[in-house]
Amino acid sequence: MTDDSVAIPAREYYAKRVRYYLAERGMEEQVLAAVPAYPAGTTQATFAKDVGGLLGSVAGSGSTQGMIIGRNVGRMIGAETNRMEGGGVVKAEIKTPKRSMLVLTGERLLIFGIFKMGFFTGKPKKDAAVDIPLTEVLWVTEPTMKSGGAIKVMRMDVCVRNRGFARLEVPQGAAKMGVALAAELSRRVELLNAPTA
């Protein structure tokens, strides 16, 4: 550690990496917001599998082998029950990594895989999984709070010209920042789509 090493808050930690990513590509844009995100429906699907696994482990607790088999069967039953009840990951034309960082800059919406953000290098290890110029965004849904099992998640859809929908959810802990990101994205899209006089 050097004298300059300090604990960087998560937002600045990611903003710094995104600025480096953009500078590497010759783009100078302000990073406005960064929030963790998942494909819509992931939280509820994971919760159902985990509860099923827990119940299966308890049911098979007579032996180690019974716990392992019970856990695996319980997870399959939990996932299938969730799917039959209409839960699960929501289909989207624009695929996003299971664990992502949703980043809004002055001119684009970027989605990075969280594990590709370069924890040790100071820059993302890979290109953004999704790069959407704001000029291509047609509209953004009003953010809504949905149940994700034991917790609530903020869900939003982004409609992109000629590409379809990016359907995302933001965990409860970052929901306030997610709502602010959605509002700013919506405001910028409206300004871009406003008729010129």
Q: Residue ranges of the domains in the chain?
A: 10-41+89-193, 44-84
Q: Which residues of the chain register pLDDT less than 70?
A: 1-10, 42-67, 69-91, 118-123, 125, 147-151, 194-197
Q: In the CATH hierarchy, which top-level class contains the domain 10-41+89-193? A: mainly beta
- pLDDT score, position 4: 45
Given a contact cutoff of 8 angstroms between Cβ atoms, the answer to whether 113 and 127 are in contact is no
37: part of which helix (H) or strand (E)? strand 31-39
Provide the 3-class DSSP secondary structure of residue 134: helix
Supply the pLDDT for residue 100: 86
* pLDDT value at residue 85: 53
Q: Checking phi first, is residue 161 left (phi over 0); if not, alpha (psi -120 to 50) or beta?
A: beta
Report the C-alpha gap between 126 and 22 in whole angstroms: 12
pTM above 0.85, yes or no: no
Q: Are the C-beta atoms of residues 166 and 96 closer than 8 Å to each other?
A: yes
pLDDT of residue 109: 92
131 token code pair: 């790069």
Cβ neighbors of 20 (< 8 A, separation 6 or more) are 122, 123, 124
Separation between Cα atoms, residue 164 and residue 138, nearest integer Å: 10
Helix (H, G, I), strand (E, B) or coil at 48: helix
Distance CA 24, CA 27 (A): 7
